[in-house]
């Protein structure tokens, strides 16, 4: 019988949450299990407050009775637990497969610590197999897509049903296929220089720990010192 490796990793991460913490709730099918476990612990008496990185995670947290606070009520978070689409051994990540990368990056950057939770298929030697999601403004999106393509990728504007996919912020997602990404930080710099780009899904120097669930029931932990 196959085990739920996403749940395995997510529930391990929730062990790092203690009373009094301000917690960032990630988005996606792995973060879902972390939020579910946090909800259970809150019902058992854990005292935390939280902010969510998407409308979907906010709704899940509310249903589970996790106390949510506004961004104006706190000046930062202790810990964010979130998934990833790809991660390498330096804890560089590709995120945004679910379209939540902008909110996720704001929340992760506002946290003292970010733990990534993933199944083993997400751990890679070189980033880039997964198309890099880039959030772009709808205005003149054709020109922004053309600028992205000049960086050496093929770009597909994400669709949803009959139309274009829109993020929780009302923007589009351009999925950019670069193939193997030699230097994530150089690419991040180039993406930031394109005016229509709101944010990209490369998370570099943000996560301190990854918890990876494996089919054999074991867990691998990758850690990185802040400032490395
Ligand atoms: O936008 C979505 C997020 O970055 C997710 O955390 C990421 O796509 C991983 O999602 P999942 O755990 O469903 O694979």
- How large is the ipTM? 0.98
CATH of 132-196, one of 3.40.50.300, 3.40.50.720, 3.30.70.260, 3.40.50.12500: 3.30.70.260
Q: Is 98 in the pocket of ligand 1 (CB under 6 A)?
A: yes
Is 104 a known active-site residue?
A: yes
Question: H-helix or E-strand containing 57?
Answer: helix 55-64
Which tokens hold the place of 22?
């301000």
Residue 95 CB–ligand 1 contact under 6 Å = yes
What is the sign of the dihedral through the CA atoms of 118, 124, 128 and 130?
negative
Q: Under CATH, what is the fold of the domain 5-121+204-221?
A: Rossmann fold (3.40.50)
Q: Rounding to the nearest 10 degrees, give the CA dihedral for residues 28, 32, 35, 39.
A: 150
Element (H, E) at 10: helix 5-14
With a cut of 70, which residues of the chain have pLDDT below it?
A: 1, 226-228
Distance CA(33)–CA(151), nearest Å, equals 36
Q: What pTM value is reported for the model?
A: 0.96
CA distance 87 to 94: 6
Q: Which residue among 11, 104, 135, 199 is the active-site one? A: 104
CB 200 within 8 A of CB 133: yes
With a 6 Å cutoff on the Cβ, whether 99 touches ligand 1 is yes
Structural domain boundaries of the chain?
5-121+204-221, 132-196
Whether the Cβ atoms of residue 84 and residue 61 lie closer than 8 Å to each other: no
Tens of pLDDT along 42-77? Answer: 999 999 999 999 999 999 999 999 999 999 999 999
Residue-level pLDDT at 145: 98
């Amino acid at each position: 019988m196959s085990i739920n490796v996403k749940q395995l990793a997510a529930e391990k991460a929730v062990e790092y949450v203690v009373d009094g913490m301000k917690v960032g709730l990630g988005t996606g099918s792995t973060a879902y299990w972390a939020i579910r476990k946090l909800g259970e612990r809150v019902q058992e008496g854990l005292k935390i407050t939280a902010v969510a990185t998407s409308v979907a995670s906010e709704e899940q947290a509310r249903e589970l009775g996790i106390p949510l606070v506004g961004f104006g009520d706190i000046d930062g978070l202790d810990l964010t637990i979130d998934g990833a689409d790809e991660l390498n051994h330096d804890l560089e990540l590709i995120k945004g497969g679910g379209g939540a990368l902008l909110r996720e990056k704001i929340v992760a950057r506002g946290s003292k610590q970010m733990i990534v939770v993933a199944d083993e298929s997400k751990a890679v030697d070189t980033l880039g197999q997964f198309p890099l999601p880039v959030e772009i403004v709808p205005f003149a999106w054709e020109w922004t897509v053309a600028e992205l393509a000049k960086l050496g990728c093929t770009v597909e504007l994400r669709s949803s049903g009959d139309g274009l996919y829109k993020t929780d912020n009302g923007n589009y997602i351009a999925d950019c296929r670069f193939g193997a990404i030699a230097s994530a930080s150089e690419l991040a710099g180039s993406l930031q220089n394109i005016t229509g780009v709101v944010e990209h899904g490369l998370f570099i120097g943000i996560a301190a720990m990854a918890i990876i669930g494996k089919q054999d029931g074991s867990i691998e932990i990758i850690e990185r010192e802040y400032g490395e």
